Structure 1
């Protein structure tokens, strides 16, 4: 058995220690080759770059040296200089920029996961799958994510292991299980009653009825280590039901959730597709609307006035090929077909009314590791400039996370999370789809072979 010193973060996940031990073993093996290239944690490094976008939205610097001490950026100097006793990461022919942030992922599943998987998978299976998905995401250049709905506590164990330096992975901020109405999006359906009750007991799913119980679910999530609260205000496109995408949680339930979460210092992310549910969520004071498929002009104006964020997940509807779509239930196929008719309206309205936009892909429903493909959609559909699209996954995403002091730019005092690309993302946003090097906490954790 692996002995781990107790800390507040670790105590949140002791009931998942078996999954953590197993995932840690495999994670350690997977990270060996990258770790061999990197400086020892706490040692530091010198990074030589051909160009550096220190603050997305501002012009890039020319040849630059970034000096890292421990996990953080210590200095930025012009030209290429050396520092005694510090190893050099040579990226002289590359453009360096802040590590990317995806604010809407689900590491515990992927498009290949079927809704009956819980009858087969163990917590250890889920932990290993979550790591595999996290590894793909990190190698794609996303050094930080917000996981907004992974069942069970394997994702808590993975987050804690990354934070404690036991394993290498993206920085994870998580909600745990989503809160929903009974039988809503987030509460299991599609299996017979006995199976559903055995695999997904009422309290396990995050289901709640009434303001008091919904407030209790928020407090439970906080008790067991959630960094934020995720709710499903409306039906979902991928739910195994034909009840549409209208409002699910009542106005009273929404208010209780938001008030309770904010009193505990937690933000609320609201999955919301239908217009009525989007509006009700914004009125209740949620911090972000996830998807916002049927967002209308009036609600977009309200979001702009209140500072509510939109996470548009533009690749969601395009992530399923014909063969995959054929495996979906008729109810899901019908909802997808209707939603495709308004695809891109959400981000166009957000741009028109100056709504805050944060990058988020819904990876898990869409493939992990292909997160950067959304940038081109933001440029095409917004339309956003490449510069604005890049900001949405760096400065703006860090702001939504409440991590502006630590993430989103390359500046002294911030975490040394950076990526390299062979090109200029201000001119061609698609260069972000082929990241050549990933640096996390000052360590080179991935590098594409020449």
Structure 2
């Protein structure tokens, strides 16, 4: 080979090596104590080694070496929390008319704000329970790529609804209602199956349906079952055939029971849960996501002109029922997982749900499990999140105190890491 060409090839090889991937940085988290799992006890001083977004090791003491250290010696370190019901692309309010004047793109701006706030509150994974066609999917990508600080997002996209149902636009003139149609309403088993396939095609991680009417929609009726049994079964069967789970907004008892019998995976809200509905859920392994904070948030807005009279009447009607929801579900052996409906109340307050669950008879340990290991199982991600263990995603938070003895300490989170990326110090930020 000509000397010049030989030198050129050697230089190119050196440049290729220089441009190759650098060795992954190892980060040592020096913890005062570690709770690896809601079922475990605090460990005492320990070091968590994080590399390439995952936990490499957890060892007693502070001797393990790394490229960089994070000093959390005065804190309890535990898995990041999981909220199974959020609406990052929206903020609380009764101004339903905004659907007609705000473009979907604005939801990405609002969502970027709320993703950061949610992560700072200690929630490292959320299920986005209904949004515009692309807004939540854009956020999902932004947080995954580290462009936007925020949690891992499991996104549903637009919810499936009957015509005039809770997820269908209503409250306007017929012409405006038609213009704002999301394209995900369906009638009949065949059309409902097709809409599930459409949601899957367009990027949904999970299928969201509104199985009954809702408290905040502009109709005073229809809190019972909306879809027919055949329609619900078609939705569940089609989703499962595509490897997707189904979450059902459901308030009325017969709507809850029908959804459970159809094979829906989780019931969101569950307000009017009765014995028959609870037994249908228990017998089929259907999980309740109670969203107690939703009622807390909307109740704070009563009498302030925030909601229409129709909505205010519905809020007052469900208040006494939500105060016993978790205890009713547990009485019949229904599994309860953590979810809050953030967006109906102010984002960042998610952890207040933990104390509300405890007030209904759950222990601190059970409440913590509901937001970690139980929620991870609901997502089918129990081998990736919900615990601190080698090979798991480095979704890590730190607090002062022991949440197994007082779960309310999780309302103030001092350190957050999502997928191995440190989110800014929570203590220096007020949502």
Query: Are 1:73 and 1:410, in contact at CA under 8 Å, matched by a contact in 2?
Result: yes
Query: Are 2:413 and 2:427, in contact at CA under 8 Å, matched by a contact in 1?
Result: no
Structure 2 equivalent of residue 114 of structure 1: 95
Give the Cα–Cα distance (whole angstroms) in 2 for the partners of residues 410 and 419 of structure 1. Answer: 10
Task: Using the TM superposition, give the Cα deviation of residue 242 of structure 1 relative to its aligned residue in structure 2, in angstroms.
Answer: 1.1
Give the Cα–Cα distance (whole angstroms) in 1 for the partners of residues 81 and 26 of structure 2. Answer: 21
* Residue 114 of structure 2, aligned match among 128, 133, 140: 133
Report SS of the residue matched to 1:165.
coil
Task: Using the TM superposition, give the Cα deviation of residue 330 of structure 1 relative to its aligned residue in structure 2, in angstroms.
Answer: 1.3
Task: Using the TM superposition, give the Cα deviation of residue 113 of structure 1 relative to its aligned residue in structure 2, in angstroms.
Answer: 6.6
- Report 1:93-112 matches (<5 A): 93-112=74-93
Query: Are 1:177 and 1:206, in contact at CA under 8 Å, matched by a contact in 2?
Result: yes
Give the Cα–Cα distance (whole angstroms) in 1 for the partners of residues 177 and 277 of structure 2. Answer: 36
Structure 2 equivalent of residue 150 of structure 1: 131
Query: Are 1:270 and 1:281, in contact at CA under 8 Å, matched by a contact in 2?
Result: yes
The answer to whether structure 1 residue 92 and structure 2 residue 73 are counterparts is yes
Report SS of the residue matched to 2:283.
helix
Report SS of the residue matched to 2:374.
helix
The answer to whether structure 1 residue 289 and structure 2 residue 267 are counterparts is yes
Report SS of the residue matched to 2:49.
strand
Q: Deviations over 1:212-268 (max 9, x none)?
A: 111111000000110110001101011111114111111111011011001101001
Query: Are 2:416 and 2:426, in contact at CA under 8 Å, matched by a contact in 1?
Result: no
Structure 1 equivalent of residue 174 of structure 2: 193
The answer to whether structure 1 residue 335 and structure 2 residue 317 are counterparts is no
The answer to whether structure 1 residue 43 and structure 2 residue 22 are counterparts is no
Report SS of the residue matched to 2:311.
helix
Closer/same/farther in 2, CA of residues 363 and 283 from structure 1, 3 Å limit: same
Structure 1 equivalent of residue 192 of structure 2: 214
Query: Are 1:359 and 1:392, in contact at CA under 8 Å, matched by a contact in 2?
Result: yes
The answer to whether structure 1 residue 52 and structure 2 residue 31 are counterparts is no
Closer/same/farther in 2, CA of residues 42 and 224 from structure 1, 3 Å limit: farther
Give the Cα–Cα distance (whole angstroms) in 2 for the partners of residues 447 and 361 of structure 1. Answer: 23
Q: RMSD over aligned Cα, in angstroms?
A: 1.6
Report SS of the residue matched to 1:419.
strand
Structure 2 equivalent of residue 29 of structure 1: none
Give the Cα–Cα distance (whole angstroms) in 1 for the partners of residues 419 and 165 of structure 2. Answer: 39
Structure 2 equivalent of residue 271 of structure 1: 249
Query: Are 1:244 and 1:335, in contact at CA under 8 Å, matched by a contact in 2?
Result: no
Structure 1 equivalent of residue 400 of structure 2: 422
Query: Are 2:224 and 2:255, in contact at CA under 8 Å, matched by a contact in 1?
Result: yes
Q: Deviations over 1:309-345 (max 9, x none)?
A: 0000011112132467532111111111111121233
Task: Using the TM superposition, give the Cα deviation of residue 144 of structure 1 relative to its aligned residue in structure 2, in angstroms.
Answer: 0.3
Query: Are 2:95 and 2:307, in contact at CA under 8 Å, matched by a contact in 1?
Result: no
- Report 1:384-403 matches (<5 A): 384-403=362-381
Q: Deviations over 1:24-62 (max 9, x none)?
A: xxxxxxxxxxxxxxxx99423100000111011211110
TM-score (norm 2): 0.91
Give the Cα–Cα distance (whole angstroms) in 2 for the partners of residues 265 and 41 of structure 1. Answer: 35
Query: Are 2:120 and 2:424, in contact at CA under 8 Å, matched by a contact in 1?
Result: yes
Report SS of the residue matched to 1:107.
coil
The answer to whether structure 1 residue 253 and structure 2 residue 253 are counterparts is no
Structure 1 equivalent of residue 330 of structure 2: 351
Task: Using the TM superposition, give the Cα deviation of residue 82 of structure 1 relative to its aligned residue in structure 2, in angstroms.
Answer: 4.0
* Residue 62 of structure 2, aligned match among 80, 96, 112: 80
Report SS of the residue matched to 2:292.
coil
Report SS of the residue matched to 1:260.
helix
Closer/same/farther in 2, CA of residues 427 and 48 from structure 1, 3 Å limit: same
Task: Using the TM superposition, give the Cα deviation of residue 164 of structure 1 relative to its aligned residue in structure 2, in angstroms.
Answer: 2.9
Query: Are 2:108 and 2:136, in contact at CA under 8 Å, matched by a contact in 1?
Result: yes
Query: Are 1:288 and 1:309, in contact at CA under 8 Å, matched by a contact in 2?
Result: yes
* Paired residues, number: 406
Provide structure 2 residue ranges, at least 5 long, that are not aligned to the other structure.
1-21
Query: Are 1:44 and 1:442, in contact at CA under 8 Å, matched by a contact in 2?
Result: no
Provide structure 1 residue ranges, at least 5 long, that are not aligned to the other structure.
1-39
Closer/same/farther in 2, CA of residues 41 and 369 from structure 1, 3 Å limit: farther
Task: Using the TM superposition, give the Cα deviation of residue 376 of structure 1 relative to its aligned residue in structure 2, in angstroms.
Answer: 0.5
Give the Cα–Cα distance (whole angstroms) in 1 for the partners of residues 163 and 302 of structure 2. Answer: 31
Give the Cα–Cα distance (whole angstroms) in 1 for the partners of residues 304 and 383 of structure 2. Answer: 42
* Residue 317 of structure 1, aligned match among 274, 295, 319: 295
Give the Cα–Cα distance (whole angstroms) in 1 for the partners of residues 244 and 421 of structure 2. Answer: 30
Structure 2 equivalent of residue 11 of structure 1: none
The answer to whether structure 1 residue 378 and structure 2 residue 360 are counterparts is no
**Larger gyration radius, structure 1 or structure 2:** 2
TM-score (norm 1): 0.87
Structure 1 equivalent of residue 5 of structure 2: none
Task: Using the TM superposition, give the Cα deviation of residue 116 of structure 1 relative to its aligned residue in structure 2, in angstroms.
Answer: 1.7
Query: Are 2:94 and 2:307, in contact at CA under 8 Å, matched by a contact in 1?
Result: no
* Residue 210 of structure 2, aligned match among 226, 232, 247: 232
